[in-house]
Structure 1
Amino acid sequence: MRMELANATGKEKSRILEEFIAATGYHEKSAIRVLNHQPAPTSRQVRQRRPLYDEAARSAMIVLWEASDRVCGKCLKALLPVLLPALERNGHLKLEEEIRHKTLSMSAATIDRLLRMPRHSSRAKKPRIVPEPKRQIKMRTFAD
């Protein structure tokens, strides 16, 4: 109706306005405001702050996740204080102090979020097992 109203002459504009008021029940001034108002284009929200955890922290978390036999984020969060020093002591992982602090301070939800891509890419599709037809399965009955 906005396009019609913009291209209409004086009498047509009043007719369009009356139809709009009858259909919506708006007051005349409110209807004029609604029809003359151009909707703002919706834009994506731009993230203002930089991510807290960089690729180094993510790759360290992947190594820890693999070493813990791919447990969930909550279990991995509980294992981190024990697992991280053990891997560093045995030479499997060497982290800078900043990355080590970031890794130990991650929440379980953040761990799950960082491991989303490796978790989904590592899942192998299981082959579908098709059962045999029932007529081939021998059933023992007491009538025999």
Structure 2
Amino acid sequence: MNSKMPRSARSALTEAIRSRYRASSGKAKRQILDEFIAATGYHEKSAIRVLNASPTKARRTRRKSPLYDEAARAALIVLWEASDRVCSKRLKALVPMLLAALERNGHLRLNEDIRSKVVSMSAATIDRLLQAPRNATRLRKMPRAMPEPRRRIRIRTFADWHEPPPGSVEMDLVAHCGPINRGSFVYSLVLTDIASGRTEAAPIVVRDGALVVETLERIRTSLPFTRRPPAFSSGLN
């Protein structure tokens, strides 16, 4: 087929002459076919197949009304806020108990239709309905400034080490403060040799750079191998 006729125009022409072509015979039918081929650029066999095909029925698309209306979504948002914005899977399990408690204490009143819709929501539906309020309440994290030591010292993870020799160590300063980082507490300076897994730990009474260096030198004298200063990474902040 070699024709610059738009597809929509070609379809309209086909629908217009199909009934006349099928009702004709002999020379009249041949003339209609030749004119159709000249106008559309169809190959003869393709043109005959198109003209003999049944007329296309216009598809009627019926818009499906949403199952969950704004009232059900609003009730879901109330439950989500009351649950401290838990994830959808946990909210799905909490909805029956949470809904009963809110209704019992007069914080929420739903008719039976809305109530049944909220209880029957799947976790995926809850995710979809809460997408907008989640995006609206999501706080944008401010970029954290990297301390000067971290900019100057290359930090390696376990996967970055490729068969290091003994003496390539990682060290970290662990605070023994429990859940409250306030007041005075003891730290532990922990060194781990990457090759052997040997770990050494020493207490530090206060967080002080001079004490860290002093403790590090004390640990170094007890190691059975020579520490390799250029090769270790630090977790100190």
Indicate the TM-score class for this superposition, using the shorter chain for normalisation: 0.5 to 0.7
TM-score (norm 1): 0.64
Q: Does 1:103 align with 2:118?
A: yes
| Aligned position for 1:89 | 104
Q: Cα offset for 1:114?
A: 0.5
| Aligned position for 1:78 | 93
1:2-60 CA-to-partner distances (Å, cap 9, x unmatched) read 329xxxxxxxxxxxx9xxxxxxxxx9956xx9xxxxxxxxxxxx662100011000000
Residues 2, 130 of structure 1: CA spacing in aligned structure 2 closer, same or farther, 3 A cutoff?
Answer: farther
1:67-99 CA-to-partner distances (Å, cap 9, x unmatched) read 001111111110011100001111111111111
Report % sequence identity: 59
| Aligned position for 2:63 | 48
Choose between structure 1 and 2: higher helix proportion: 1
1:99-139 CA-to-partner distances (Å, cap 9, x unmatched) read 11111111111111110100111101011102023349x78
Letter in 2 for 1:3: K
Equivalenced residues, count: 118
Where 1:3 maps in the other structure, the secondary structure is: coil
| Aligned position for 1:2 | 3
Letter in 1 for 2:4: M
| Aligned position for 1:65 | 80
Choose between structure 1 and 2: higher strand proportion: 2
| Aligned position for 2:136 | 121
Where 1:101 maps in the other structure, the secondary structure is: helix
User: Which of the pair has more CA radius of gyration?
Assistant: 2
Greater length-normalized contact order (CA 8 Å, ≥ 6 residues apart) = 1
Q: Does 1:112 align with 2:113?
A: no
Once residues 77 and 118 of structure 1 are traced to their aligned partners in structure 2, the CA distance between those partners, rounded to angstroms, is: 17
